[in-house]
Amino acid sequence: MPISIQPAILADLDSVLLMMRRMQTDDPWCEPFNEAIVRKNVSDLLQNSHYGFVYLARDQQTPVAYMLICFDFSLEYRGKGAWIDELFVEPSHRGQGIGSQLLDLAERASGENQAQFLHLEVNYGNRAVELYRRRGFVDHQRYLMTKSLN
């Protein structure tokens, strides 16, 4: 049976959070994963498409992958931009083209929402970097630098 990919709704929050915790094993964030903060922020994202979108892939009824797209605004990148903030496929479903389907969706949905560029960030050593390169993402030879404002 084919994988179905649909926009996530608030009722999917726990399924998304479960996979987010699993992703921390493969590709941990720079900052510690604080579930209370993440729960609030994903909930906000699910309820406000101005911030972006969450997509959930299912094999029959079982969630097997998710993707979060978030929007920004940049003069360098000609206005509204989109970030693939999270993309995770369960290990049991990798190598089946689900990541490629999610990337296709990211490009389509971002363009439909007037994003001029689609960005993503990937940790060094992540195997998915080759998929991203094949799909046209390029390394700008720049550092991503971040400062906490809290």
Q: What is the distance of C-alpha 47 from the center of its chain?
A: 16
Q: 55 in a domain, yes or no?
A: yes
Is 57 part of any domain?
yes
The torsion defined by the Cα of 28, 76, 99 and 6, in degrees rounded to 10, comes to 100
CATH number, position 15: 3.40.630.30
pLDDT tens, position by position, 103-124? 999 999 999 999 999 999 988 8
Least confident span in 43-47, 55-59, 135-139: 135-139
> What range defines the domain where residue 22 resides?
3-134
Cα distances (Å, whole numbers) of residue 106 to 36, 109, 113, 118: 27, 5, 11, 8
50 located within any domain? yes
**pLDDT value at position 1?**
61
CA–CA distances in Å: residue 90 to residues 27, 58, 108 = 12, 11, 23
Pairing of strands 52-59, 3-7: antiparallel
pLDDT of residue 141: 85
Number of domains in the chain: 1
Residue 113 is assigned to a structural domain of this protein: yes
**Is 7 within a domain?**
yes
Q: In what order do the strands lie in the sheet with 52-59?
A: 3-7, 52-59, 62-74, 79-89, 117-120
When the pLDDT of each residue in the chain is averaged and rounded to a whole number, the result is 93
> CA 123 to CA 41: how far, in whole Å?
22
Domain assignment present for 149: no
Task: Classify residue 79: in a domain, yes or no.
Answer: yes
Q: pLDDT per residue over 70-107, tens digit each?
A: 999 999 999 999 999 999 999 999 999 999 999 999 99
pLDDT band per the 50, 70, 90 thresholds, residue 33:
very high
pLDDT score, position 150? 79
